[in-house]
Structure 1
Amino acid sequence: MTNEQKCNIGVIGLGVMGASLAKNMINHGFCTALYSVSDQERKRFESGKNNYRIFGSIKEFISSLERPRKVFLMITAGKPVDMVIASLLPLLDRGDIIMDGGNSFYKDTAVRCSECAKHGILYMGIGISGGEKGALYGPSIMAGGSPQAWECVRAILEAIAARHQGKACCGYIAEGGAGHYVKMVHNGIEYAVLELIAETYQYMRFVKKMGAGEIRSVFEQWNEGPLNSYLIEISAKVLGKKEEDGGCLIDKILDVAEQKGTGKWTVAESVERGVYIPSIYEAQMARIFSTKKEERTYGAAHLKYSSNEAPGLRTEEMEKALLLSMILAYSQGFELISKAAEEENWNIDLAGLAAVWKDGCIIRSALLGRIEQAEELSGKPLILSAAFSDIGTLEGSLRKMAAAAVLSGMPLPCIQASLQYYDYYRSDQMPVNFIQALRDYFGAHTYMRCDREGHFHTEWE
């Protein structure tokens, strides 16, 4: 391309995700300007090629863009985003657009929307799911922020997004930080589903004493049914990976997990908004506790375990238990999004969001088709939706697996938390009345009665 030709869009940050997303744009015919302060990152692209230009100067990068300028940030969340925005504002004109495609905290995104608006700059927080391959071949895209900016960039984002049955897995969520909010909750659901699959593997491997090859075959079979999903698919592939000596790679991987923080944000949000998400919480806690490797090794050798006979579980029962647990994980995530939408005045189309997640993203699964068809998603949790009225046929298997885990001494916290979530929703009477009586006794906190209106205090002695 010639130096005079203006680029359709610019990408700042050419790390793994940024480079993949930029290549996706280039492959879809968009003239793309590329900027990075890293020589190593810029070397991922060959200079002189058609349809893109590489810059080491931010001023030259901005000058290369057609108006309104569209700048896509693919950089580390937090202060780096604010620093880059500060460097861009003097170079941009009213009506230009900045998009943040990183995992920024939604409240930070909302502030940036407001601050950029003071300068006449349109700002968007873009949730992107799919990992490196998704970014390159088609991610799931959750756009939030300026609706005016959305209309300007929609064609580009829909073109590079994954497609499900011909429809782009890309949508506008709502204003402010809504795009990053639903991406945060997406990651929370991802935490839960990953933990549920891992716990199912753990039970098969160490309680039922199944080999990795046997479990791989089970996952492959499950992926042909209602559990069909990206994470079940790659679970089978992971179990099939061999070392040079013929052993299974999975047996050589240390059982200590890392995390990037979005799970913590989701849990904190649930507490702040008063939404019960036990599966996501336990998935987060499992990763945290995994870091106590030395203590766990000591405990395994010294803590007493009273062996009990656990009920036998057939493969079909484990499949049903995992299926119900996954449904409940999605239910928790959608419940949190629904509550946030209500409190933030976001008009989020939850069925539309399910459609956005149907391909390209990490949590894509056959279940999302059912969620998309569910009516009154914003009015009640999925667990109470008519679309999932059949989950009672799965409950017995989940209860049996949770009981078997307890009797076997095998911690499956996410499986058990899923059952707790189910049982709480079928609890007409909770013991909180007893707590309220005790609180009134020692602190005169008062209580409400079920037979009359008002708040009451009792002199207990």
Structure 2
Amino acid sequence: MTTAQIGIYGLGTMGSALALNLAEQGIDVAVTNREPERIAQFMEDSGDLSAHLRPHETLADFVAGLQVPRVVLFMIPSGQPMDEMIEWIVPLLDRGDTIIDAGNADFHDTRRRAAALAEQELHFVGMGMSGGEQGARHGPSMMVGGSDHSWRQLSPILRRIAARFNDQPCVAHLGRDGAGHFVKTVHNGIEYADMQMISEVYGLMRNGLGRPPHEIGDVFDGWNDGPLASYLIEITARILHSIDPETGHPMLDVIKDSAGQKGTGRWTVIEALRLGQSASTIEAAVGARSWSSEKDTRQIAEETLGGARLGLDLSVQSLADALMAARILAHAQGFRVLTAASREHDWQLDLARIAEIWRAGCIIRSALLDDVAAAFHAGPRAGELILAPAVAERLALCVPALREVVSAAVHSGHAVPALSAALAWYDTMRQGYGTANVIQAQRDVFGRHGFERLGQGGEFHGPWWD
């Protein structure tokens, strides 16, 4: 049996799909799994691609079947399972070998692991991967964090299996240690915001305009042929047109309105706050998912407090423009968080390249990312996406519709937390002279925290008690 170029540990949905992607590209892959019985079934299901797959039932045989220096990719749950696997596999490795964590890991864990393994002259790569099962199987977007040595070793493999946009692979080395996992975390945060905004616009059409799902699906189909084109708009149209085979009702009408979450959106918000930033649109989306889980309470509250009203007077074009404005602002907040983290951890993130590798293979792929990449290539004023000329011009055209939609929703009692958060942030950033002077004065009164005077350096106190 020939040695394999890369090994994959973990043959769940994602690991299996990734192994088949590699095999389809003619790359020999060693595979193994914690439960050995899964290996035989996977090989049987692999068909002709099994010619490039090397199954192993023990960890020792798996490692022995890899070319040196070895590359081992783990596709397992994050956290403690990853620490356990590192503990088990490290004694079998030699210096210069590389371990890849391709799961949704906390970047703090990735930094810790990279530092610990570097002391043993082993390389640890935190690789964010987006696109779900189909992406893993046919071409994901991949965000790689790790040493230059690791990237040189991995690049020929990853470029072959990545999604492609205009024939360019959607994979990049973004920085050392946790850079890749952090960028994937923010990607997921933007994903949360985008999904929430889409659901809010759906809700306004369904519960405010009284349109049935199939008509709303037609609207989303039309949007997917224009500036709003994206994977999430595309699949939302498909969802809205789907019928439940058991009841004959629209599929959406039989799905409980309680959204789950695995934590990456929450991580984005936490890290934004740690970095002194705000990702208010993402925070609104995380909060909305949490509130959605309280369905029993919400039903009681609707009986007691009353619900939203039908009869909104909004055009489809206004809703489209509002969604466009809000999506731009959510992306802008996400990239601000990336900028702050890059400075904090000295990653030197290339924001234009990040936008480029998100244009195919990943969940938030959209036409908008072309404009985002172009804006960062040009170097927007103060590094702010919303100050790039083309972006600012589009916001000027679309924000009036966002105001109209948020105002109409609030007036009729419809909840639009993400849309309204986007608008509030936009308006805050437009105020060259705001109201934080009141807060600073208050802080000085009760805690003598001091304040700066306009046009003067140093710290001052007010005459509050003179």
If the length of structure 1 is used for normalisation, what is the TM-score?
A: 0.96
* Aligned: 1:31 with 2:28: yes
Moved more, 130-139 or 427-436: 427-436
Structure 1 residues 339, 97: CA separation in 2 closer, same or farther (over 3 Å shift)?
A: same
CA distance in 2, matches of 1:41, 1:267: 37
Moved more, 34-43 or 415-424: 34-43
Cα drift, residue 411 of structure 1? 0.7
CA distance in 1, matches of 2:206, 2:36: 46
CA distance in 2, matches of 1:67, 1:453: 59
Letter of the 2:42 counterpart: R
Q: Aligned to 2:73, what secondary structure does the other structure show? A: strand
Q: CA RMSD in A?
A: 1.6
Cα drift, residue 119 of structure 1? 1.1
Structure 1 residues 220, 342: CA separation in 2 closer, same or farther (over 3 Å shift)?
A: same
Query: In the alignment, what sits opposite 2:428?
Result: 424
Cα drift, residue 387 of structure 1? 3.1
Q: Aligned to 1:456, what secondary structure does the other structure show? A: coil
CA distance in 2, matches of 1:288, 1:56: 41
CA distance in 2, matches of 1:446, 1:401: 41
CA contact (8 A) 2:25 2:160 kept: yes
1:110-162 per-residue CA deviation (whole Å, 9 max, x = no partner) reads: 11111111111111110000000000000001111111011011111110100
CA contact (8 A) 2:127 2:144 kept: yes
1:332-364 per-residue CA deviation (whole Å, 9 max, x = no partner) reads: 111110111111111211111111101000000
Moved more, 300-309 or 355-364: 300-309
* Aligned: 1:387 with 2:401: no
Question: How many pairs are equivalent?
Answer: 457
Letter of the 1:443 counterpart: G
Q: Aligned to 1:372, what secondary structure does the other structure show? A: helix
Query: In the alignment, what sits opposite 2:301?
Result: 299
* Aligned: 1:107 with 2:105: no
Query: In the alignment, what sits opposite 1:457?
Result: 461
Query: In the alignment, what sits opposite 1:87?
Result: 88
Cα drift, residue 451 of structure 1? 4.2
CA contact (8 A) 1:162 1:169 kept: yes
CA distance in 1, matches of 2:148, 2:87: 22
Cα drift, residue 189 of structure 1? 0.2
* Aligned: 1:207 with 2:211: no
Cα drift, residue 440 of structure 1? 1.6
Aligned residue among 288, 292, 295 for 1:286: 288
Query: In the alignment, what sits opposite 1:322?
Result: 323
CA contact (8 A) 1:68 1:96 kept: yes
CA contact (8 A) 1:20 1:136 kept: yes
Moved more, 149-158 or 49-58: 49-58
**Taking every aligned residue pair, what percent have the same amino acid on both sides?**
40
CA contact (8 A) 2:269 2:278 kept: no
CA distance in 2, matches of 1:304, 1:336: 38
1:3-31 per-residue CA deviation (whole Å, 9 max, x = no partner) reads: 2x111110001111111101111111111
CA contact (8 A) 2:144 2:180 kept: yes
CA distance in 2, matches of 1:405, 1:69: 57
Q: Aligned to 2:42, what secondary structure does the other structure show? A: coil
CA distance in 2, matches of 1:136, 1:63: 26
1:15-64 per-residue CA deviation (whole Å, 9 max, x = no partner) reads: 11111101111111111100101145322222994111111200000000
CA contact (8 A) 2:175 2:348 kept: yes
CA contact (8 A) 1:94 1:121 kept: yes
Question: What 5-or-longer segments of structure 2 have no aligned partner?
Answer: none
Structure 1 residues 377, 89: CA separation in 2 closer, same or farther (over 3 Å shift)?
A: farther
CA contact (8 A) 1:373 1:387 kept: no
Cα drift, residue 80 of structure 1? 0.7
Q: Aligned to 2:194, what secondary structure does the other structure show? A: helix
Query: In the alignment, what sits opposite 1:255?
Result: 257
Q: Aligned to 2:67, what secondary structure does the other structure show? A: coil
Query: In the alignment, what sits opposite 2:220?
Result: 219
Letter of the 1:410 counterpart: H
CA distance in 2, matches of 1:445, 1:306: 44
* Aligned: 1:414 with 2:411: no
Aligned residue among 18, 23, 26 for 1:21: 18
CA distance in 1, matches of 2:348, 2:235: 34
Query: In the alignment, what sits opposite 1:439?
Result: 443
1:270-298 per-residue CA deviation (whole Å, 9 max, x = no partner) reads: 10101121100000000111111111011
Moved more, 230-239 or 288-297: 288-297
Cα drift, residue 458 of structure 1? 2.3
CA distance in 2, matches of 1:377, 1:21: 37
Moved more, 166-175 or 296-305: 296-305
Cα drift, residue 389 of structure 1? 2.2
Query: In the alignment, what sits opposite 2:181?
Result: 180
CA contact (8 A) 2:145 2:176 kept: yes
CA contact (8 A) 2:141 2:163 kept: yes
CA distance in 1, matches of 2:132, 2:381: 29
CA distance in 2, matches of 1:199, 1:274: 28
Q: Aligned to 1:454, what secondary structure does the other structure show? A: coil
CA contact (8 A) 2:207 2:310 kept: no
CA distance in 2, matches of 1:222, 1:407: 26
Query: In the alignment, what sits opposite 1:272?
Result: 274
If the length of structure 2 is used for normalisation, what is the TM-score?
A: 0.95
CA distance in 1, matches of 2:27, 2:310: 63
